[in-house]
Amino acid sequence: MPNIRYFLGGNTPTGFFSLYHQLSKPDRLRALYIIKGGPGSGKSTLMRRVERHAQAAGLETQQVLCSGDPGSLDALILPQLRAALVDGTAPHVVEPQCPGVVERYIDLSQYYDRAGLQPLKQSILAATAEYQGHYKRVYRCLGAAGELRRDMNELVDTQPVQKRLIKRAAGIISRELKGPAQGEGRAEQRFLSAVTHKGAFTLWDTVSAQADRVYELAGDYGLAHHMLSPILTAALAAGHDAVACPDPMAPDRLAHLIFPGLSLAFVTSTQEDPWPHRAYRRLRLDAMADAEAYRINRPRLRFTKRVAAALLDEGVAGLAQAKEAHDRLEKLYNPYVDFDGVARMADQVADQVLALADE
């Protein structure tokens, strides 16, 4: 089975940016399990157990990773069954659109030993406050880094540059999207890249699992959006489904596009996070920037890039501290969780989900 993983939430300059609402679409899903439960209650454990059941049945699974801690699951998608499970707690709260028909709740708080947890109340509150406090600093750092990145982009992203990029996109469209339109395609938004406690990185294996032809758009100044936007519009008009991936440091701009049905992808590759494989085609976007503007602003660009990178590093350090605080919080809870009960619940949910294949 292909290794397909995404993020549905991102740590961005404007705070936590959620795409989790896309899971609660009754016209697309037959079943959505919204999991409720506090730290250490077994939400990720339950989803991984359901995933093993699904994989044993030969079904494709897609993991949605936690942007704060990529080692933890925030959602599990079973595309063939049109079903999903999601951690519905803050900051990625999911509200049901068709409760009882599509969405149903799983309450893991029932597996807490409430009497055992009572003496830990003050420790739990202190750990929670520390965890939330680190995120305030994280978003301040990412906010400042985002402003500096926007400043760099505005220095080189002139109207002539945009016209060159759009013209280049038109050539790609004529070459890659031939044939008559076959209805309107659908786009799903997913984060392929994220700022995590391990640093900023991209789930490149997800691209490799779905595309043999990968266009590498190499550049450090956020110019790829001007190529990706017209390509996405043309592909959807031609009836091709797409996975549109925003830039976590500028969520209003595209960073990557994947067209699984065409085995085609376009990825933004930077010096800090380069495409690790041989590309089908490699385009140096920074070479299309305004040469005179780049020459005049070179010292400013270098300085701004260095400071933005330092601020991003500070944000990552804050995420690492938040992760440590959350780990301590989970350790307080773990001894007082009935994980056997969680496992039984996972098996029941797996049975219900797999039964969808017979309906």
Residue 327 neighbours by CB distance under 10 Å? 14
| Closest to 10 (Cα-Cα) out of 257, 191, 188, 142 | 191
Provide the residue-wise pLDDT of the chain in tens; the chain has 359 residues. 668 999 999 999 999 999 998 887 878 899 999 999 999 999 999 999 999 999 999 999 999 999 988 999 999 999 999 999 999 998 988 888 899 899 999 999 999 999 999 999 999 999 999 999 999 999 999 999 999 999 999 888 888 899 999 999 999 999 998 766 677 899 999 999 999 999 998 999 999 999 999 999 999 888 999 999 999 999 999 999 999 999 999 999 999 999 999 999 999 999 999 999 999 999 999 888 777 777 888 899 999 999 999 999 999 999 999 999 999 999 999 999 999 999 999 999 999 999 998 87
176 in helix, strand or coil?
helix
Distance CA 288, CA 219 (A): 10
pLDDT of residue 289: 78
pLDDT of residue 306: 95
Q: Which residue has the tokens 């110019």?
A: 223
Residue 260: cis peptide before it, omega within 30 degrees of 0: no
| Closest to 188 (Cα-Cα) out of 77, 54, 44, 275 | 77
CB 342 within 8 A of CB 349: no
Token pair of 144 as six digits: 């400042």
pLDDT of residue 180: 65
Burial of 7 (0-12, 13-18, 19+ CB in 10 A): buried
pLDDT of residue 294: 79
CB 82 within 8 A of CB 29: yes
For 277-304, the DSSP string reads S--SEEEEGGGGS-HHHHHHHHHHHHHH
DSSP structure class, residue 335:
G
Token pair of 68 as six digits: 């704060």
pTM reported for the whole predicted model: 0.94
Q: Give the rounded distance of the alpha carbon of 46 from its chain centre.
A: 20
DSSP structure class, residue 93:
-
User: Using N-to-C axis directions, what is the helix angle for 339-354 and 43-56, rounded to 10°?
Assistant: 40
Q: CB within 8 A of 62, min separation 6: which ones? A: 4, 5, 6, 76, 77, 78, 79
Distance CA 28, CA 38 (A): 28
pLDDT in tens, 266-321: 999 999 999 999 999 999 998 887 777 778 888 999 999 999 999 999 999 999 99
Distance CA 202, CA 224 (A): 16
DSSP structure class, residue 149:
H
pLDDT of residue 68: 85
Q: Which residue has the tokens 């933890």?
A: 72
Burial of 252 (0-12, 13-18, 19+ CB in 10 A): exposed
Q: CB within 8 A of 124, min separation 6: which ones? A: 117, 329, 332, 333
pLDDT of residue 1: 63
Distance CA 154, CA 150 (A): 6
Residue 26: cis peptide before it, omega within 30 degrees of 0: no
